[in-house]
Chains A and B, each alone.
Chain A
């Protein structure tokens, strides 16, 4: 917005924005850091005891080893799933590609917590549905696999996270200038040589950026390690952090000390991800020329491609969905799904019964938090996005960077940092919904900023300049021109925040208190109590809400691709 003599009020607004974002992001991190070196807040002594204790604890070593094995395994498996899927959708003549590309919206429809509980029911050695089916078909007593192992943990995590690799990679494949492949063909390369030497290497930065995001997410997700992992006795970073915090008394300084190296790793990964994404954009930018990418004719191989994609969608979406539907309507777990065993009793119980009250209260709390959180969050995000995209202020980059930081902070870490920061004067937010609200806004701010800034980037600056030249001041330009034009992005962003908050778990699990439960925490609690049908009903509610939101976002952005909602 260089064309205005920036009125001092606007400059103060920029400062205000920077201070607010800086505060909500950095203040908790400050307390986290302080907590790790100052175990006793009442004394003035600083030491590294917490770090030493963690380093020397044999148990911690195992947790860190588990975490490393899991995260690296998940990242590799996600790439092995996501890249072929992206290539199949972006660059081949495989039939039914439109359905395969639904992969891109999977994480939005099937959050980790839902995939986790569904696979816990599918993969239990003795009574898991997949294993029962296997034993019946093969006429054996041995199960096909045990989900409650490191392998199972990696498998379920990768199902949930592979779409991130898919989304980044398919975008790169689709936006690649076909001239580059034509040049290889004319130079004498056949289609396989071209794919291996030109297409895939050109997508490499995009693949790397998706993989790094998966890596960060694998450290952040709580639901899957908390169900699949804990049931198998496998503790990783997120679940160990939780165990430290629910201990009596909570061991805050050890939790903080354990968080610091993870934060550094995540920060590094995010830095690499941003770099890779920048490089990827360089590789795929084309001068607005429309073109038809040439598709590889797979011939008979297309059945393999179709089988591979179908299998992924089966295990990541269809089987879990069937499990949830089955659990919602079946009278007793294990019964065949025939008419005589179907019932609406579970739904009735949740709505009217005693056990249902706590579920309904959690839904109510989640709705309230998500509504407020999405509204406040998107308002903040809109202003931040505006300054990040348009301002020529020298601190613009700082604002951009601050608003991106939460991506690299696992939800559990944000939560304990906030707990420590806001438990004391002048905030006293402990045991309130407000602390959860603040955590949600902080966590999801980057996604809101991204949704709105995508929208603003597409608005020609001339439109704002025209209003300014016509005599509108900064605020009028913002309200009368920019906000209406960016409205699809703002609304889409609001929905993304709303849905993300509805099912948030990683931070909520650390921050909730009795009567202050949210959907995610209740789901885990129900799972622990073994209430199969209640878990399925609540999961199904999450999925239906998410599906509706996806439809709404798609309609709003009026595009068939879903890049905007990730």
Chain B
């Protein structure tokens, strides 16, 4: 097991810059996620680490080993990098049995036969496929094929595990189950892992660190709760979870408790805004679940309360989603124990100052 260091990785396809100088470290044993919409460069980054795409610039280290560097003209082919990878379509060889699929990497490493069959058995046990080694991949369910792909990637104890959207071919229920199982597997084996996905929930559940990518850049890097609670910019706020992005204006300087007043339509919102100047236009990010409905009509100048007019109420089973108008801006509200609302009804929503983020 090794740490991974990616330094200023660059890739162009013709005029398009797919990856524009991306750098990050993955400490030993951690799981780092590259999260972003399709075309953001996350898969290209992974493929450059794996050796399937040649970078136009930048270095990749696994431990002390330089596996790719455009300056030093190092470009190890994939088979010399000692990495394990699980592909989106699994890539199980249809002409080989499950056990032969898993054994392949060990055969390439010239292990002896007894060791191979013992290791294959152990790997299949690990992914709970004991006894299915004699089947062909086509005789397994999607979830089982997925596990075989993991066993195949882990069996030769690679330095790093690369996961290219491995859950996206599964149905919703199975995907949820596999998420947790995969995280368990990663923790149990303690393998350094780089995980590519466009599914933010997957990223939240599984990652030690999340990198949000867009247009070939890193927009934000941090642990899941930080990325969710403190989105660095509009893109992250909008991509990771749902955010209400509301325009406001700074009303004055910070109070003694450190909170700054903002004017949002007819309401005054106090929140943490270091360095804000009076009269400055800002964007506030508020998560729909952080808007709390209050039952009584508030007093006239109570701060941190938005008066909203319901436009649409959508019942979603576990929760109710409200689309409402607040001083000419549209907001979304998520609530769990809310009664149904009719259109044009007026409601009052309270916002805790800690759940309001000022975004530049």
Contacts and interface: CB of A to CB of B under 8 A. Distances in A.
Given A202-B93, A204-B95, A282-B138, A182 B87 contact: yes
A283 B94 contact: yes
B197 to A, nearest CB: 17
B79 A198 contact: no
Contact of A187 (B89, B94, B95, B108): B108
A385 B77 CA distance: 48
Nearest to B82: A188
Q: Which 8 A-B pairs have the closest CB atoms?
A: A188-B108, A187-B105, A179-B91, A185-B78, A183-B91, A186-B85, A179-B87, A188-B79
A287 interface: yes
Interface in B141-160: 152-153, 156
A184 interface: yes
A464 interface: no
Given A202-B95, A204-B95, A187 B79 contact: yes
A184 B104 contact: yes
Given A188-B108, A189-B108, A193-B108, A183 B85 contact: yes
A180 B91 contact: yes
A20 to B, nearest CB: 38
Interface string B149-189: 00011001000001000000000000000000000000000
16 contacts: A180-B93, A182-B50, A182-B85, A183-B92, A183-B93, A185-B78, A186-B78, A186-B83, A186-B85, A187-B84, A188-B82, A189-B79, A193-B79, A198-B93, A201-B95, A283-B94
Contact of A185 (B77, B84, B94): B77
Interface in A179-234: 179-180, 182-191, 193, 197-198, 201-202, 204
A184 B109 CA distance: 12
Q: Which of B50, B84, B105 has the most CB of A within 10 A?
A: B105
A188 B93 contact: no
A484 B91 CA distance: 40
Given A185-B51, A187-B104, A282 B94 contact: yes
Given A187-B105, A187-B108, A188-B108, A182 B93 contact: no
B318 to A, nearest CB: 32
Contacts of B108: 187-189, 193
A33 B53 CA distance: 62
Given A183-B85, A188-B109, A190-B79, 10 more contacts: A180-B93, A183-B87, A186-B78, A186-B79, A186-B83, A187-B104, A191-B77, A193-B108, A283-B94, A289-B89
Contacts of A187: 79, 84, 104-105, 108, 152, 156
Interface in B41-68: 50-52
B104 A189 contact: yes
Contacts of A201: 95
Contacts of B91: 177, 179-180, 182-183
Interface in B314-348: none
Contacts of B77: 185, 190-191
B152 A183 contact: yes
A188 B85 CA distance: 11
A493 to B, nearest CB: 32
A446 to B, nearest CB: 28
Nearest to A287: B89
Contacts of A283: 94-95
B332 to A, nearest CB: 34
B298 to A, nearest CB: 55
B89 A182 contact: no
Contacts of B51: 185-186
A289 B138 CA distance: 19
Contacts of A197: 104
